[in-house]
């Protein structure tokens, strides 16, 4: 299986806040080491300054990697379909934290020998896993059945998400309230289609052509209009054409969303051809 990225919508502020709280202890824990490094520096103790500074750097590196791992894990658990992280960020963080703790105990103090320091490092590793758990290791394939593979679903969702992100980016360059509202609804409807596929991946073969025609056409026309808009080269005729295309895409998408839910294969293909013909007539595809 190729290394397809997981589909992911923009994470909410509340989820980011929860992730930040989850790893806050890892950022607080090294503060005494930083204080020790400052005291050593002021006291002119070169070796102690180096050891404590290196320890603080190691602890912070572990905390930063862990924070990224928590974000990846939260994204994984938030989706019905997701690929397991290819890099075990939490495990990497745990190993760095464990090694740093053991070395700090051995080098920065005179209270622990090699064996005791190893035990402290091992205890830190165990405590990390008990508190934060392991990295996700299995792909979440939902109810993917015959006729479509997990790789096809993941890659289709990734491609769709990239196109939607491009539409959102182009949308920010268009300072027109009407068009902004159109694109906001279109983006929302695109997300709904993706959710539909996640709930029933067997819809992918039927939705694949529609996703390609709709999202490719919408991305191209939006990016093209946004470029013209940035250059202040829009005309009344161009605005009218753009509005007509957005209206057609939005209404067509509503129809196809309903037909996907009703398993109406024939009507789906016919209406896709109608939309594709209009996009070609407008010079979009």
206-216 pLDDT per residue, tens: 777 777 777 88
For the residues 198-205, what does the mean pLDDT come to?
75
Q: Where are the alpha helices (DSSP H) in 79-113?
A: 89-107
With a pLDDT cut of 70, the percent of the chain lying above it is: 79
* CB-CB contact of 117 with 106 (8 Å): yes
Burial class of residue 150 in the structure, from the number of CB atoms within 10 Å of its CB (0-12 exposed, 13-18 middle, 19+ buried): middle
How confident is residue 10, by pLDDT bands cut at 50, 70 and 90?
Answer: very low
- The CA distance from 16 to 19, in Å, is 5
- The CA distance from 9 to 198, in Å, is 13
Any long-range contacts for 166-175 (C-beta under 8 Å, 24+ apart)? 166/219, 166/222, 166/223, 167/215, 167/218, 167/219, 167/222, 170/219, 170/222, 170/223, 170/225, 170/226, 171/222, 171/226, 173/226, 173/227, 173/229, 173/230, 174/222, 174/225, 174/226, 174/229, 175/229
pLDDT at 275: 62
- The CA distance from 244 to 275, in Å, is 12
**Cα distance from N-terminal residue to C-terminal residue, the chain:** 31
- The CA distance from 201 to 205, in Å, is 9
pLDDT at 98: 95
pLDDT at 196: 79
Model confidence at 224: pLDDT above 80 = yes
How confident is residue 268, by pLDDT bands cut at 50, 70 and 90?
Answer: low
For the residues 171-191, what does the mean pLDDT come to?
86
pLDDT at 8: 41
Please give the residue that has the higher pLDDT: either 97 or 15: 97
Show Cβ contacts of residue 68 under 8 Å, excluding neighbours closer than 6 positions.
89
Model confidence at 65: pLDDT above 50 = yes
- The CA distance from 153 to 282, in Å, is 31
Give 3-state DSSP helix, strand, coil % of the chain, rounded to 5.
Answer: 75, 0, 25
- The CA distance from 229 to 242, in Å, is 12
How confident is residue 18, by pLDDT bands cut at 50, 70 and 90?
Answer: low
- The CA distance from 41 to 53, in Å, is 10
Show Cβ contacts of residue 149 under 8 Å, excluding neighbours closer than 6 positions.
none
pLDDT at 57: 95
For the residues 277-285, what does the mean pLDDT come to?
60
All structural domains of the chain with their residue ranges: 13-132, 150-281
Please give the residue that has the higher pLDDT: either 11 or 37: 37
- The CA distance from 283 to 279, in Å, is 6
Torsion 46-49-53-54 (CA) sign: positive
- The CA distance from 173 to 188, in Å, is 18
Phi, then psi, of 144 in degrees rounded to 5: -65, 125
pLDDT at 230: 72
How confident is residue 272, by pLDDT bands cut at 50, 70 and 90?
Answer: low
What does the pLDDT look like over 91-138, one tens digit per residue?
999 999 999 999 998 888 767 889 999 999 999 999 999 999 888 887
- When the pLDDT of each residue in the chain is averaged and rounded to a whole number, the result is 79
Task: State whether residue 3 is helix, strand or coil.
Answer: coil
pLDDT at 216: 83
* CB-CB contact of 145 with 201 (8 Å): yes
Model confidence at 269: pLDDT above 90 = no
How confident is residue 66, by pLDDT bands cut at 50, 70 and 90?
Answer: very high
pLDDT at 59: 95
Model confidence at 48: pLDDT above 60 = yes
Model confidence at 58: pLDDT above 80 = yes
């Amino acid at each position: 299986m190729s290394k397809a990225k997981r589909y992911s919508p923009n994470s909410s502020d509340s989820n980011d806040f929860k992730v930040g709280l989850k790893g806050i202890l890892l950022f607080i824990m090294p503060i005494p080491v930083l204080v020790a490094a400052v005291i050593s520096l002021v006291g002119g103790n070169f070796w102690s300054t180096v050891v404590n500074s290196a320890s603080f750097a190691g602890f912070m590196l572990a905390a930063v990697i862990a924070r990224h791992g928590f974000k990846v894990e939260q994204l994984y658990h938030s989706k019905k379909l997701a690929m397991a992280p290819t890099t075990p960020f939490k495990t990497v963080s745990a190993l760095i934290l464990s090694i740093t703790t053991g070395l700090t105990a051995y080098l920065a103090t005179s209270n622990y020998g090699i064996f005791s320091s190893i035990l402290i490092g091992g205890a830190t590793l165990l405590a990390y896993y008990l508190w934060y758990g392991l990295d996700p290791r299995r792909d979440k394939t939902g109810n993917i059945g015959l006729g479509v593979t997990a790789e096809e679903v993941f890659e289709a969702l990734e491609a769709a998400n990239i196109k939607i992100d491009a539409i959102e980016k182009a949308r920010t360059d268009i300072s027109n309230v009407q068009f902004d509202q159109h694109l906001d609804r279109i983006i929302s409807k695109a997300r709904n289609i993706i959710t539909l596929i996640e709930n029933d991946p067997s819809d992918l073969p039927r939705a694949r052509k529609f996703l390609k025609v709709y999202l490719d056409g919408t991305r191209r026309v939006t990016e093209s209009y946004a470029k013209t808009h940035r250059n202040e080269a829009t005309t009344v005729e161009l605005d009218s054409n753009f509005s007509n295309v957005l209206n057609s895409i939005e209404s067509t998408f509503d129809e196809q969303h309903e037909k996907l839910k009703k398993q109406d294969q024939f009507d789906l293909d016919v209406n896709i051809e109608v939309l594709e013909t209009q996009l070609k007539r407008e010079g979009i595809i």
